[in-house]
Amino acid sequence: MTPELKQRIESLVAQDKIVIFMKGNKLMPQCGFSNNAVQIFNSLGAPFSTVDVLEDPEIRQGIKEYSNWPTIPQVYIDGQFVGGSDILIELYQNGELQPMVEVAIAS
């Protein structure tokens, strides 16, 4: 990964407390897994931003290298990589996600 791409990704990750790298955007998710992530944060009433990896092949590949995680979507809370759709669902169902989100938003 080029230093420029790494800097771009770091900048995107830092732009908001919750950032989802996904296929599509929060208004128009382009895959079921991305939609799951959007619905979870909507249900929590948490503000979040999205980065559409379909619009930027460099980001689509680069984010996988950056996080060392092979799939999209990828969720970052307070600058930290949390995981993909399956991990997000698990954290939501076992009650761990809401406190993470509340701490991030309050900080």
Band (pLDDT 50/70/90 cuts) for residue 95 is very high
pLDDT tier, 20 (very low <50, low <70, confident <90, very high otherwise): very high
**Domain 3-106, what architecture?**
3-Layer(aba) Sandwich (3.40)
Residue among 81, 50, 77, 78 at smallest CA distance from 68: 81
Say if residue 101's pLDDT is above 90. yes
Cβ-count burial of 60 within 10 angstroms (0-12 exposed, 13-18 middle, 19+ buried)? middle
Residue tagged 């680069």 (tokens): 62
Whole-angstrom distance between the N-terminal and C-terminal Cα of the chain?
Answer: 30
Confidence of residue 66 (pLDDT cuts 50, 70, 90): very high
Domain boundary assignment for the chain: 3-106
Q: Are 62 and 10 in contact (CB under 8 A)?
A: no
Q: What is the pLDDT of residue 107?
A: 85
pTM of the model: 0.95
- Between CA 82 and CA 23 the distance in angstroms is 17
